[in-house]
Amino acid sequence: MSVFIPDTELPTALEPQQAVEAAYTAELAEVAANLRRGLPVLLECEKELAPYLFVNIRGRLREHNLRCLYLDGRPRENENPSPGGMPLGMMGTMITQLREAVRGAVERRVVVLPHLDLLTTSQGGLTSEAREVIPLLYENPELVWLGFKDPSFPLPRVIENLFPHRVSIVGIPRNRLRYLVTQKEARKFGQRFNPWQLYKFVSGINAIRLRKLLATVEGEDYPADPKPAYRHLRQATLTGSLEIPDVDLDRDIGGYKKVKQRLREEILDMLRHRDLATETEEISRFEELIPRGMIFWGPPGTGKTYFAKAIATAIGAAITIVSGPELKSKWVGESEENLRQIFHKARQSAPSIIVFDELDSFATARGTYAGSGVEHSMVNQLLTEMDGFHKDELVFVVGTTNFVESLDPALLRPGRFEFHLHIPYPEPEDRREILRIYNDKMRLQLTDAAREYAVRRTGDFVVGQAAGTRYSGDHINALCRSIARLRLRENITGETASDMVERALTEWIDRPKMTQVEQRVLATHEAGHAVVSLFCDHTPPIDRITIASEMHWSFGYVKFSDPAHKYIHTIAFYLDQICVALGARESERLLLDDISLGATADLQSATNIARELVEVHGLAGGDLGLTQFLDLNTGKRRDQLSASTLAALDARIAEIIETQRLRAEKIVSENRHLIERLRDTLLEKQTIDSQALGVLIPRPVTDANQAKKTADAGTATA
């Protein structure tokens, strides 16, 4: 069946009551049928829609000679005021009318309660008036109740139990939209009217509000581009805190090629094919494939919420960002009500995306809560709301988290948060693109060399922050803003060089005030690491050497580039690591005739590597054979080992360390002049990058038989 509708098949005019009948024929017939059978009905709908629904239901009941009594709290003609002569007010009048209806009724009739929300508090508790009303509601079994409930207000259980049958009217059924648009209005949306395309923007609003909005759409008939008309509706349907973002997936987000590709292929392309489809069956098929719940997980600051905004921009959706902790309330039931309100407003403003930032703050695995237990109810409410989605509603839910493993498994099953997207720390090519975007936006005028320097520097841990914190997109943004402030402060209008990038990173870092003697020891130490590494075939190239470290855990360091093989390392690689670690110690011994206690950490590292090679990777040798003695999962030896076995293991570890120490000693002795040259340059420059190092000390030609040595060293280890 084609989705296009000729103008001639649309109504020429529509009154509000006609629109209500056209939109909700099935629901209204169901309500009237249950009332005729004597079943009380609770009708959930928005306030502005309730009077029109009542008029329609009343007309249907009159055909069966069933009267309705509408108790809205307005005084009737000739109605007696209160005994004291003072007006009772709306609530008082309604209670009086209700009492008369209950105790004066002699025939079966339908009593309509349009304002049930007045009987509840915002947390769903009972008001003082409700305590008087509730006994009346259960007093006369001859009465049939029709209650209207606003979706914005919860009802206490004692009131909901009065209604065995409930009908919810939220938005408009898609198959009824064609009956709610006039011929004149349809002409504003192009040559061929497509109600399926229009439905995307009006699915969450009721028929009365839709008629009001369509009447305000301006523009020429049959426009070549109907986007302005759709844009007008899009703005008019926004509610609450929802907004339409402007974040382009390519223009505003740098790098992350694989993440973008997956979003396009699994989300955006599916939605685009759905919008371009011309057959209803084809549209339904695409809708079955589109995931409505998504988990974006990864470290802080990597742009999880930003990606959600980019999706919203791409599909023209409104977005609301909800902080998980802000949803929690100390009042019973209010946290769940906060969730209900968020979903209700999102449905009204569809297409929309709800972003639950820090989803793990309330949606952790049930049974692991240490608090009041409100999280359990919030998870249940979230599951209820997501299970209530209709496939033709374009409402998406995105949960962002740094700890995906802590989320409740019920949320992660297909049909809920079934689309999981990992957004990791940016790789070098990602950082390069992020820097390019900020360079253009902030007009930093970074030179190519400065940008590449920034890419390399942001591959390390973040300056001045907790150990183990890598550079994210947010950190790179902060770096660029720091450069911009530096340029503004010093009135720099030309290009930005590498030294300014370094200043922006480290200018305000508190460093220890070292004496010249201490700096000489440190420079000798780092020069020993660097030079020994140049003569080890399996070490990565040096990226940077410094004795003015910004890291709190070290006064200086040698930073290596990412290894060519990140996931598979050979035994020869680990032996080289031991040799490089001991190189600083041997450098100090040769040039200073003493050893600083700063080399202790290097010795510990070398010992740990040697122990792992022997006890885990089978380098025990001798009579011990090819055996694994240590369980990596527990960190404990597998069995109780004899004293002789332990002694043999320790001897083998000591042998490996001594062999690599002698190797490092030989390299240091033969290349003392290189260590002295590098030490003196470090004392002068404080920091040397890879380019300066290449000029100062060209990397020596390694052994031509490197491949053979690698094979002889042992098997590869992951």
Q: How does pLDDT run across 274-287, given as a tens digit for each residue?
A: 888 888 888 888 88
346 pLDDT exceeds 50?
A: yes
Q: How does pLDDT run across 547-577, given as a tens digit for each residue?
A: 887 665 578 888 888 766 677 888 999 999 9
Q: How far apart are CA 17 and CA 28, in angstroms?
A: 12
Which of 476, 506, 536 is where one domain is finished?
Answer: 506
Q: State which amino acid sits at residue 552.
A: H
Q: How far apart are CA 299 and CA 641, in angstroms?
A: 42
Is residue 151 one of the residues assigned to a domain? yes
Is residue 511 one of the residues assigned to a domain? no
414 with 528, same domain? no
Is residue 156 one of the residues assigned to a domain? yes
Is residue 683 one of the residues assigned to a domain? yes
Spell out the residues 6+ positions from residue 490 whose beta carbon is closer than 8 angstroms to its own: none
Task: Kindly report the CATH number assigned to the domain that includes residue 50.
Answer: 3.40.50.300
Is residue 365 one of the residues assigned to a domain? yes
440 with 415, same domain? no
659 with 623, same domain? yes
- H/E run at residue 558: strand 557-560
* Average predicted confidence (pLDDT) for the chain: 85
CA atoms 487, 491, 496, 499: torsion sign: negative
* Cβ contact 327:354 at 8 Å: no
* Nearest residue to 664 (alpha-carbon basis) of 538, 575, 573, 545: 575
524 with 485, same domain? no
> Measured in whole angstroms, how far is the alpha carbon of residue 292 from the centre of its chain?
14
Is residue 415 one of the residues assigned to a domain? yes
Q: How far apart are CA 75 and CA 73, in angstroms?
A: 6
Average pLDDT over residues 632-643: 72
323 pLDDT exceeds 70?
A: yes
352 with 395, same domain? yes
616 with 678, same domain? yes
219 with 149, same domain? no
What residue numbers bound the domain in which 268 lies?
257-422
pLDDT at 121: 60
Q: How far apart are CA 69 and CA 74, in angstroms?
A: 12
481 with 597, same domain? no
92 with 143, same domain? yes
78 pLDDT exceeds 60?
A: no
Is residue 369 one of the residues assigned to a domain? yes
403 with 471, same domain? no
713 pLDDT exceeds 50?
A: no
Coil, strand, or helix at residue 151? coil
160 with 182, same domain? no
Domain count of the fold of the chain:
5
pLDDT at 706: 40
476 pLDDT exceeds 70?
A: yes
Q: How far apart are CA 599 and CA 708, in angstroms?
A: 32
Residue 467 binned pLDDT confidence (cut-offs 50, 70, 90): low
Which of 119, 137, 168 is where one domain is finished?
Answer: 168
pLDDT at 699: 64
Q: How far apart are CA 342 and CA 330, in angstroms?
A: 18
467 with 590, same domain? no
The backbone torsions φ and ψ at residue 205, rounded to the nearest 5 degrees and listed phi first, read -105, 150
Task: Kindly report the CATH number assigned to the domain that includes residue 655.
Answer: 1.20.58.760
506 pLDDT exceeds 90?
A: no
Is residue 242 one of the residues assigned to a domain? no
Which of 422, 447, 481 is where one domain is finished?
Answer: 422
